[in-house]
């Protein structure tokens, strides 16, 4: 399985290369086309695994950026080949005909285009497969909807009626969902988001797994106690603090003091990025994909 780090600081790519000999998969967004793009497509490209370009539809829907089909298509004409995959412009999400028209138009300038499904019950996946699309992205509405995911994988994966079909889970990468379904790939900005919030995750091989096989431990290291956040326990009160201290020292040569407080955000994000690579390995072994 492949998990794409969403728009990582180039520093994290260099650190993951130098410390662990790993080439992280990276997703960048067209909504941020002017932000360090040359680092990913040129300067740091040999240090990256797969490189995927998001169309920026999510940013458009949230109102944080203005993205149009015309501008995206104009960018893809000379630049699509810089990426392993480019995501189709899937707006408006509720208009299937418009999305299919967008897909057909962009395919003229980008052969490495990946379609996005927003209504799996309506036969979108069947149509896309018949059109030759065997690598399909599931829109965020399917991210945590177990009923839809059960339907998708029973019909399109376990039935073996659609050989070679692969699915990408957009927008998140957590063990519970990714272990429950054999996704081929996913992406996440969570490593950076939670790191900026003072939170750290690591795969704790030193303890017994949960009932579902999960060994993820979550710590709050923002430098102050927080209440009402049972998922991320303050590091001072965490039952696996000793194992975490051993891990960050043996892996990064960090002490707890190196990841505590607002000024240590970069260190936390790097620890979380390494967790994402560890999770990628765990899930690859689990599903054999």
Phi–psi pair at 34, nearest 5 degrees: -90, 5
**Which of the four pLDDT bands, split at 50, 70 and 90, describes residue 90?**
confident
Instruction: Tell me whether residue 112 is exposed, middle or buried, using C-beta atoms within 10 angstroms of its C-beta: 0 to 12, 13 to 18, 19 or more.
Output: middle
What does the DSSP 8-state code read for residue 154? I
User: Would you state the pLDDT for residue 172?
Assistant: 82
Q: Which residue has the higher pLDDT, 147 or 3?
A: 3
Report pLDDT digits (tens) over 30-41.
988 876 788 999
User: Would you state the pLDDT for residue 136?
Assistant: 97
Report pLDDT digits (tens) over 93-107.
888 899 999 999 999
CATH 1.10.3720.10 is the classification of domain 2-190: no
Query: Domain spans of the chain?
Result: 2-190, 193-279
Angle formed by the axes of helices 265-287 and 10-20, nearest 10°: 60
Return the CA Rg of the chain.
Answer: 20
Q: Which residue has the higher pLDDT, 264 or 223?
A: 264
The residue with tokens 């998990």 is 3
pLDDT value at 228 more than 70: no
**Which of the four pLDDT bands, split at 50, 70 and 90, describes residue 265?**
very high
CB 52 within 8 A of CB 29: no
**Which of the four pLDDT bands, split at 50, 70 and 90, describes residue 226?**
low
Per DSSP, the three-state class of 151 is: helix
pLDDT value at 123 more than 70: yes
Per DSSP, the three-state class of 140 is: helix
Query: Average pLDDT, stretch 23-46?
Result: 91
Per DSSP, the three-state class of 216 is: strand
pLDDT value at 223 more than 70: no
Q: What is the mean pLDDT of the chain?
A: 92
pLDDT value at 142 more than 70: no
Alpha-carbon separation of residue 121 from 71, 118, 126, 141, 284 (angstroms): 31, 9, 10, 13, 28
Cβ count within 10 A of residue 107: 17
pLDDT value at 171 more than 80: yes
Q: In the chain, what percentage of residues exceed pLDDT 70?
A: 95
Report pLDDT digits (tens) over 237-262.
899 999 999 999 999 999 999 999 88
Q: In the chain, what percentage of residues exceed pLDDT 90?
A: 77
Determine the Cα–Cα distance for residues 36 and 288; give it in Å rounded to an integer: 34
pLDDT value at 219 more than 60: yes
Query: Average pLDDT, stretch 2-29?
Result: 96
Which residues neighbour 66 within 8 Å (Cβ) at sequence distance 6 or greater? Answer: 60
pLDDT value at 61 more than 50: yes
Q: Which residue has the higher pLDDT, 147 or 226?
A: 147
CB 137 within 8 A of CB 112: no
């Amino acid at each position: 399985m492949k998990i794409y780090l969403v728009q990582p600081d180039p520093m994290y790519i260099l650190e993951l290369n130098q410390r662990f000999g790993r080439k992280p998969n990276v997703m960048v967004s067209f909504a941020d086309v002017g932000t360090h793009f040359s680092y990913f497509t040129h300067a740091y490209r040999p240090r990256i695994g797969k490189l995927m370009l998001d169309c920026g539809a999510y940013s458009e829907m949230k109102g944080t950026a203005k993205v149009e089909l015309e501008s995206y298509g104009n960018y893809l004409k000379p630049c699509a080949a810089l990426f392993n995959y480019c995501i189709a412009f899937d707006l408006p999400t509720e208009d299937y005909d418009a999305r299919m028209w967008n897909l057909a138009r962009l395919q003229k300038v980008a052969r490495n285009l990946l379609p996005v499904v927003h209504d799996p019950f309506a036969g979108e996946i069947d149509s896309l497969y018949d059109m030759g699309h065997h690598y399909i992205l599931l829109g965020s509405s399917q991210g945590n909807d177990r009923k839809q995911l059960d339907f998708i994988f029973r019909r399109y994966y376990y039935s073996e009626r659609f050989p070679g079909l692969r699915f990408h889970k957009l927008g998140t990468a957590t063990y519970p969902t990714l272990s429950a379904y054999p996704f081929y790939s996913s992406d996440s900005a969570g490593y950076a988001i939670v790191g900026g919030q003072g939170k750290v995750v690591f795969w704790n091989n030193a303890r017994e797994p949960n009932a579902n096989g999960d060994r993820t431990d979550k710590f709050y290291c923002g430098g102050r106690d927080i209440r009402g956040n049972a998922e991320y326990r303050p590091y001072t009160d965490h039952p696996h603090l000793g194992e975490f201290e051993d891990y960050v020292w043996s892996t990064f040569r960090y002490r707890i003091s190196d990841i505590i407080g607002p000024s240590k955000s970069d260190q936390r994000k790097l620890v979380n990025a390494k967790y994402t690579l560890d999770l990628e390995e765990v899930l690859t072994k689990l599903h054999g994909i």
